[in-house]
Amino acid sequence: MGDLTRNDIESFLKVFDVLLRKVKNNPDIILDFINSTQVKKVPKTKQTDFSKVKGFDLYKEAKEKSNLELIQELKQQFNVEELRFLIKELRLGSVPSKSIDSLAEYIADQAIKRTTDVFQNQ
């Protein structure tokens, strides 16, 4: 701030004086400006209904079907957002992939692994 000169301050005051006169003549200018620059909440164009995903019992399906059958069912029933929601809801970890094939394979693999009883007698 030490680099300001007297000329800089005088120039600023000239601009400020013009703005002040404009606002005095029409105070609605400030209100219009404030209202036009407020962040408006933009609705999402596509809301995904996750009730179908919440009603899906992954572990029951994993016990009844083979890995390939489970992958096919996941691919047919759900889209990418729903599969990502399923991973998050069931806390299956994180997957950087965005393809429906790899998400379905990951979910099926995790479900098959987690339905195996680790305490069973061998």
Is residue 65 a part of any domain in this protein?
yes
Is residue 46 a part of any domain in this protein?
no
Same domain, 33 and 55: no
- Domain count across the chain: 2
Burial class (CB in 10 A: 0-12, 13-18, 19+), 109: middle
Tell me the whole-structure pTM to 2 decimals. Answer: 0.55
Is residue 72 a part of any domain in this protein?
yes
Domain range enclosing 64: 51-115
Is residue 58 a part of any domain in this protein?
yes
Same domain, 55 and 108: yes
Same domain, 65 and 103: yes
Output the tens digit of pLDDT for each of the chain's 122 residues. Answer: 578 899 989 999 999 999 889 888 888 888 887 877 765 555 555 666 778 888 888 888 888 888 899 899 999 998 888 899 888 888 888 888 888 999 999 988 888 887 655 544 44
